[in-house]
Amino acid sequence: MEAVAKLINNPRTNNNAGSPRKARLVIDMIRGMDIDKALNALRYTNKAAAEPIEKVLRSAISNWEQKYEMDPAENELYVKECFIDGGKTMRRYLPAPHGRAYRMRKRTNHITIVVDSRKASDVTATTEQEGDEN
């Protein structure tokens, strides 16, 4: 009774610009929240990582709607699981004194969000009944 969002073809953002450490500050805020509260928190958070996280959350909600064909407001959706993984690190070089070069690391991250219904038993019962009818 859960829907996962990641963002490429199946929602999970891969190689999203920004360091994973900074994005984890935002994702820790919404873990376990109802989706309405989580969306409001992301909308009014003054962090650059909030925008792609909001996109992934909206995608997870949409995936849940399509998978179970139910209204998310009635089923009390919440953020069941969310995490940030480190992505590829782009390496660039900056000129340094005495002909040397300093390495600059541009970090990326992967965002994964899982939403689920607090009324999981109701969702299971309805999907099982629909499967029995076919």
What tens-digit pLDDT sequence spans the chain (134 residues)? 666 665 443 455 677 888 999 999 999 999 999 999 999 999 999 999 999 999 999 988 988 888 888 887 788 889 999 999 988 899 999 999 999 999 999 999 999 999 888 876 555 555 555 666 55
CA triple 16-21-22, angle to 5 deg: 75
User: At 132, phi and psi to the nearest 5?
Assistant: -70, -30
pLDDT of 101: 96
- pLDDT, residue 54, reads 93
- pTM of the model as a whole: 0.79
Q: What is the pLDDT of residue 58?
A: 92
User: How many CB atoms neighbour CB 131 within 10 A?
Assistant: 8
Domains and CATH numbers, the chain: 2-133 (3.90.470.10)
> What per-residue confidence (pLDDT) applies to 119?
79
